Structures are given as C-alpha cells and as structure tokens.
Structure 1
Amino acid sequence: MPSMHERIREDLLNKERALWTALTSADPAPAIFKLSNPEANFMFPRREILTFEDEEEFKRMVRPPFHRFDAYQFEQVRVIIVDLMAGVVTCKVRAVRGKKEYIASSSTTWSQGSDGEWTLAAHQETLL
C-alpha cells in the first residue's frame, strides 16, 4: 500500500495534468473553475493577475488563442508536500502549437478542503 505522501504526490500530479489539459484546451474556463478554489490567483506571463472576482473578465482573458497548444509535456517535475492538506507542484513546461514553442517554468499551489478535494489556490508561469 502506498504511503500517505505517495498518494498525495499522485493526487497533485493528476490535478496538475488536469489543469494543463484545461489550460491548453479550446475552452479552458469551465475546467479551470472546477479545479480551483474561489479565491484562486493566476499569474500568467505578460498579463495582470487574474482572479474569479470578475468571472466574465476571467473567461475573456483565457479564451482562445490563450495557451491553445497541440501538445505539452512536463520536465523537472517536483511535488513539494507542505503538509497533509497543502502542496506545490513545480515543473518546466514545453508546449507546441504548429511550429511555435512555449517554454515556461510553472508553479501551482494546491490545498485540500475538508471534503478531501484538492483545489488550486495559486498558479504562476514564467517564460524561459
């Protein structure tokens, strides 16, 4: 049986993959809302900090062609367990759309609610 920390690592990696699948999809907002805490913050390159304070503004900011990629992959992935209810996933992300490549470092902080569900608290990307 996997240890508690191994299960947390697996849960957080699955959530991170779900986030990036959403971020790179044609319509990311619904999936991002589902994955996130209502107080979540998003720091994307060359953009103001996004929150859910103005839901319509958030939807407008993440609609295509925002982060619309054909494929992405993680490199240098680290899962940092802060405690049994919080963790951070850091990685290098390589994504492509046609012949254009996007390379960034990424950090996502996840927290676990009393219902046991992991939700995104903060996400940041830095272009490399």
Structure 2
Amino acid sequence: MPDIHDRIREDLMNKEIELWTALTSAEPAPPIIKLSNPEANFLFPKKEVLTLQDERRFRKALRPPFHRFDSYEMLDVRLIIIDLMAGTVTCKVHALRDNKKYRVTSHTTWSQASDGEWRIVTHQETRI
C-alpha cells in the first residue's frame, strides 16, 4: 500500500493534469472555477491578477481563444508536499496551436478543502 505522501503526490499530479486540460479547453472557466478555492488567485502572462471574487471578469478573461491549444506537454514536474493538506506543483509547459509555440513555467498551490477535494489556491504562469 502506498504511503500517504505517495498518494498526495498522485492526487496533486492528477489535479494538475485536470487543471491544464481545463486551461487548454474550448471553455476553461467552468471547470477551473470548480477546481478552485473561492479565494484563489490566478496570474497569467500579460493579465491582471484574476480572482473568483468577480466571476464575470474571470470568465471574460478566460474566453476563447485563451490557452486554446491543439496539444500541451508538462515537463520537469516537481511536486512538493507542504503538509498533509497542501502542496505545490511546478513544471514547464510546452503547448502548440496552429504551429505557434507557447512556453511557460507553471506553479500551482493546492489545498485540501473540508470535503476532501484538492482546490487551487494560486496558479501562476511565466513565459519563457
């Protein structure tokens, strides 16, 4: 049986994949809102800090073609357990749309909510 830290790492990796699948989808806002802590902060390149406090603004900022990619790949993934209910995932993401490349470093902090689900606390992307 895997130890608790291995299960946390697996949970965080699955959530990060779920996040990036949502980010690169045709309509990212609804699944990202579902994955997020109500007080989450999002820092995307060339955008103001986004929060869920103004959901209309959040949805508008993530309207297509925001991050609509044909494919993406996560590289150099590092998972750090902060404690049994919090962790971070850092990685490089290489994405492609119409032969145009998008390269970022990504950092997401996750916390476990009272319902046991992992929720985004912060997500940041920095272009490289």
- Give the TM-score, by structure 2 length: 0.99
**Number of aligned positions between the proteins:** 128
Which residue does 2:60 correspond to in 1? Answer: 60
Aligned to 1:102: 102
- Report the aligned-residue RMSD: 0.5
Q: Percent identity?
A: 65
Deviation at 1:54, TM superposition (A): 1.0
Q: What is the identity, as a one-letter code, of the residue corresponding to 2:102?
A: Y
What's the counterpart of residue 76 of structure 2?
76
Q: Look up the equivalent residue of 1:72 and give its one-letter code.
A: Y
Gaps of 5+ in 2: none
TM-aligned CA deviation for residue 114 of structure 1: 2.1
Distance in 1 between residues matched to 2:45 and 2:61, nearest whole Å: 12
Q: CA deviation at 1:21?
A: 0.4
Displacement of 1:37: 0.4
**1:45 aligned partner, one-letter code:** P
Partner of 1:10: 10
Deviation at 1:97, TM superposition (A): 0.3
Question: Aligned residue for 1:91?
Answer: 91
Distance 2:12 2:32 in 1: 15
Per-residue CA deviation, residues 67-116 of structure 1 (Å, 9 max, x unaligned), is 00011011000000000000000000000001101000000000001221
Question: Whole-Å Cα distance in 2 between the matches of residues 85 and 77 of structure 1?
Answer: 19
Aligned-partner Cα distance in 2 for 1:52–1:74: 25
Q: What is the rounded CA distance, in whole Å, between the counterparts of 1:47 and 1:57 in structure 2? A: 12
Query: TM-score under structure 1 normalisation?
Result: 0.99
Gaps of 5+ in 1: none
